[in-house]
Structure 1
Amino acid sequence: MSVFVTGATGYIAQHIVQELLKQNYKVIGSARSQVKCDNLIKNFGYNKNFSMVVVPDISELSAFDEVFQKYGDELKIVLHTASPFHFDVKDVKKELLIPACNGTLGILESIKKYAPDKIERVVVTSSFGAIIDFTKLDDKSFTFDETLWNPDTWESCQSNPVSGYCASKKFAEQAAWDFWKQNKDVVKFKLSTVNPVHVFGPQVFDSDIKETMNCSCEVINSILKGGPDIPVNPNSRNQFIDVRDIARAHLLAFQRENTIGKRLVLSCGDFNQQDIINVLNTDFPSLRGKVPAGNPENGILGTHTGAIVDCSKTKEILGFEFIDFKKTVDDTVEQVLRAHGEF
């Protein structure tokens, strides 16, 4: 069975590709340039079941037409992970909203035109950002779950890049659900989405360890390289999930019938900057004195300090336990130190 993974060079997508290849799927990935394609093929050891295609600009609604014209007869599964994720943004609409929405609508339209009776399952990588309401985060009586949507409008979300990114995931996901509902008599595929909170965990390849990491992992990396005197913010609360669990959820999302029509919300609970520091100082003696100590009692791991993210239905559907915070941080830090020759 052949699977198409958009944005295959991305942090989450590489873990998805790795899991697919382990399970002997034939994988076709996309990236924006031939250089990116060639590098990923090399990193995966020129696996005979893995190939790449160039899709230079997903904001073009016809961006994926050629893929389905060429491979539509052999593809059965589409995992759409490609979406802009960065906060160095001058124009939220142009750089975040339009690419996210057009990329999602475009790939579904391409399926409709060239493989309506071939593609069986589509999984869209969404985000907790599609659910979040920033005004409720500190409300201990409030619960987020898969039924809720980010209340930001197209206009209001353009006030800053973080709001813009979260809303871009909302609008793209809503577009996918609307398309599926409106075209059920035309297309064969069934739809699911995966909505993770803040993503932690190692890269697939040590060679991807850079001085500055992707937005998610830079939270840990910045502490490692910041020195012992960087300020520790006890109010830096967030939710986390391990990238390897997200990859696993993507595969189960198309492998199982009970995921059809579902939003799979992934979270393993609250953490703050102090929790990361506590793991570093406890599990990596060589880092003591090189990273801040802060106040260990200020950690919030395992406590309820704000709104709850309820992913009980997702856990029931998927049927596996998520990787805990300690292992996530340990594995990430070990990889960074190993890549720098310190582990």
Structure 2
Amino acid sequence: MSVLVTGCTGFIAQYIVRDLLQQNYKVIGTVRSDAKGDNLKNLFNNNPSFVTEVVADIAAPSAFDHVFEKYSDEIKVVLHTASPFHFNAKDYEKELLIPAIHGTKSVLESIKKYSAQTVERVVITSSIAAVKDPLKSADKNFVYDEDSWNPVTWESCQLNPQDAYRGSKKFAEQVAWDFLEENKGVLKYKMATVNPSMIFGPQLFDQNATGVLNTSAEVINSLLHSGPETDLSNLKNDFVDVRDVSRAHLLAFQMDETVGQRLGLSAGQFNGQDIAQILNERFPQAQGTLPKVTGEGANKTEPYAKFDNSRTKKILGFDFKSLEETVYDTAAQILKVEGKV
């Protein structure tokens, strides 16, 4: 069986490719250039079950047509992970909203055009950002679940890059659900979305654990080098390990129970003090560059809005990695690459 993974050079996607290959799937990955594709294939030892196709701009009209035209009879599963995730945007529509929304619609339009009766399952990588209302994050009595939606509007999401990202994930996911409903008489596939919280964990390949890392892993990387006077007061969120996110993507198309579900991935809450404590306890050799522990962790301080993803945990049936494990593995890899472990 062939699985299409869009944006296969990404942090999550590389683990997905690895896990698919280990389970003997053929993987077709989209990349932004031949050079990126060649580099990733080399990292996977030029596995003959892994091929790449260039999609230079996922937001372009018919961006994925040539991929589905070429593999129209082979692709049975589509894992759409490609979407921008950063907070450096200046033009929010051009850099975040349009690529996310148009990229999602483009891949679904290509399925409809070339593989309407051959693609059986589609998994969209969404985010907890499409679920949570940031204005209620400090409300300890508020509970989110997999049915919740961020109430952000097109206008309100363009006030800052964080809200623009949240909007991009919400609107792109809604496009996917709407497209399926509008074309249910034409399309064969069944769909699920994966909605992870902040994703920590090591890079799949050590060579990627240098410099500025992807947006979520950079949180830990920056704290490793931030110094003892770092202000941690604004750092709090839900978290999940990248290896669990990859596992969830595979189960999302392998299990009947996931059909029509939004799989909310969170292993719990954390704050900056939690991470500082783990780093200081586990990496004494890095003293001097680590932030000081000056307060209590997220589970001992005043709680904030909770994400109840018990439905997802029951469906997936596995335990998520702990904060200590994911922070330790992330930091240990970075320090190893830097020659400090």
| TM-score > 0.5, shorter chain as reference | yes
CA distance in 2, matches of 1:32, 1:273: 35
- CA–CA distance in structure 1, aligned partners of residues 108 and 321 of structure 2: 32
Whole-Å Cα distance in 2 between the matches of residues 16 and 303 of structure 1?
35
Q: Conserved in 1, the CA contact under 8 Å of 2:229 and 2:292?
A: no
Match in the other structure for 2:189: 189
Q: Deviations over 1:20-78 (max 9, x none)?
A: 11111110101111111111011111111111110000111300000000011111000
Q: Letter of the 1:298 partner, please give it.
A: E
Question: CA separation in 2, counterparts of 1:179 and 1:290?
Answer: 49
Distance 2:205 2:130 in 1: 29
CA-CA distance at 1:235 after TM superposition: 4.0
Conserved 8 A contact 1:202-1:331? yes
Partner of residue 306, structure 1: 304
TM-score for the superposition, normalised by structure 1: 0.97
**Distance in 2 of aligned mates of 1:235 and 1:122:** 36
Aligned structure 1 segments of 4 or more residues deviating by more than 6 angstroms: none
Q: Which amino acid aligns with 1:188?
A: K
The aligned amino acid for 1:90 is K
Superposition deviation, residue 215 in structure 1 = 0.7
Q: Within 1, Cα distance between the matches of 2:60 and 2:302?
A: 43
- Following TM superposition, by how much is the alpha carbon of 1:288 offset from its aligned partner in structure 2, in angstroms? 2.7
CA–CA distance in 2 between the matches of 1:334 and 1:49?
31
Whether the 8 Å contact between 2:230 and 2:292 is mirrored in structure 1 is: no
Gaps of 5+ in 1: none
Residue equivalent to 2:255? 256
Q: Which residue of 2 aligns with 1:236?
A: 235
> How many pairs does the alignment contain?
341
Q: Indicate conservation of the 8 Å contact 1:264/1:314, yes or no.
A: yes
Q: Which residue of 2 aligns with 1:292?
A: 291
Distance (whole Å) between structure 1 residues aligned to residue 64 and residue 302 of structure 2: 43
What percent of counterpart residues are identical?
Answer: 55
SS at match of 2:193: strand
What is the alpha-carbon distance in structure 1 between the residues aligned to residue 77 and residue 302 of structure 2? 38
Name the CA shift for 1:11/1:26 in 2 (closer, same or farther; >3 Å): same
Question: Equivalents in 1 of 2:104, 2:123: separation in Å?
Answer: 11
SS of the aligned residue for 1:29 comes to: strand
**Offset of 1:189 from its aligned partner?**
0.4
CA RMSD, aligned part only? Answer: 1.2
Return the alpha-carbon distance in structure 1 between the equivalents of residues 123 and 277 of structure 2.
36
Q: Secondary structure at the match of 1:289?
A: coil
- 1:336 aligned to 318, 334, 337, which one? 334
CA displacement at 1:292 relative to structure 2? 2.5
Correspondences of 1:8-157 after superposition (within 5 Å): 8-157=8-157
Instruction: State which drifts further: 109-118 or 267-276.
Output: 267-276
- Distance between the aligned counterparts of 2:302 and 2:247, measured in 1? 26
Corresponding position: 1:271 with 2:270: yes
For residues 66-109 of structure 1, give each alpha carbon's deviation from its aligned partner in whole angstroms, at most 9, with x where no partner exists.
00000111110000000011111111111111111111111111
Q: Distance in 2 between matches of 1:23 and 1:254?
A: 13
Q: Residue 258 of structure 1: CA displacement? A: 0.4
Written as runs of structure 1 = structure 2, the 5 A alignment for 1:215-226 is: 215-226=215-226
Q: Deviations over 1:195-233 (max 9, x none)?
A: 001110011000001221111011111111223x33232
Deviation of 1:234 after TM superposition, in Å, equals 3.1
Counterpart-to-counterpart distance in 2, 1:293 and 1:129: 29
TM-score, normalised to structure 2, is: 0.97
Deviation track 1:243-264 (CA, whole Å, cap 9, x = no partner) reads 1000000000000000000000
Which amino acid in 2 is paired with 1:328?
Answer: T
* Secondary structure of the corresponding residue to residue 100 of structure 2: helix
Q: Which residue of 2 aligns with 1:322?
A: 320
The answer to whether the 8 A contact 1:281-1:288 is kept is yes
